[in-house]
Amino acid sequence: MKTEKLLDLFARNGIKVIFRPLRYSSGGLLQHGGNWYCLVSSTDSFVRQRWTLAHELGHYLLHARSGVCSLFDEPTQEREANKYAAELLIPVDQVIACWEALNIYPYNKEEKIKILAKEFEVSAQAMEIRIKEVNNVPSSHLVNCICHNLCLDRAGYRAR
């Protein structure tokens, strides 16, 4: 997902995104005066900011909006927000298709991870974790993802 679309999701949910230098955190979600705000550290790298945005959107959609509001420091909520961020920024079907497309080149695993991280605008660490998760997906699901991803329109975009 491109950054503009990610920011649009915040706007559609009535959440104001604020980029500021933050000393002890990459970001956070807070409610004040009936309004929601997502704070993002302006000193973090671009890919870190994107992950923070997706992660905090996950908190909002999974926890805050549904009334399960806390400081989001519960390990389960953090894992859920990370999973949401991964699904949003690094969709399984797209990762599989791109990984397979790179097989025609003589890249090793680390090179592929760096290439995909750049393509998806995430950190190499996030991409490596996602690749490990993809390897744990049942093969029947992977076949469905690959077949779904290969249905393209004439312009080369995924057909709806």
| CATH assignment at residue 81 | 1.10.10.2910
Q: Do 105 and 43 share a domain, yes or no?
A: no
Instruction: Write down the pLDDT at residue 160.
Output: 46
Q: How many CB atoms lie within 10 A of CB 130?
A: 22
Answer whether residue 160 is part of any domain.
Answer: no
10-residue averages of pLDDT along the chain (160 residues): 93 96 92 91 97 95 66 78 95 93 92 96 96 73 43 42
| CA-to-CA separations, 43 to 14, 25, 64, 68, in angstroms, rounded | 24, 11, 26, 30
Q: Do 53 and 127 share a domain, yes or no?
A: no
Rounded distance between C-alpha atoms, residue 160 and residue 157, angstroms: 9
Q: What is the span of the domain harbouring residue 13? A: 3-89
Instruction: Write down the pLDDT at residue 156.
Output: 41
Pair of tokens at residue 85: 């961020």
Q: Do 80 and 96 share a domain, yes or no?
A: no
Phi-psi region of 45 (alpha: psi -120 to 50; beta: other; left: phi over 0): beta
Instruction: Write down the pLDDT at residue 154.
Output: 41
User: Quick one: 156 exposed, middle or buried, by C-beta within 10 A (0-12, 13-18, 19+)?
Assistant: exposed
Answer whether residue 83 is part of any domain.
Answer: yes
Instruction: Write down the pLDDT at residue 66.
Output: 53
Strands 15-20 and 27-32: what pairing? unpaired
Q: Do 73 and 108 share a domain, yes or no?
A: no
Instruction: Write down the pLDDT at residue 75.
Output: 84
Answer whether residue 67 is part of any domain.
Answer: yes
Q: Do 35 and 101 share a domain, yes or no?
A: no
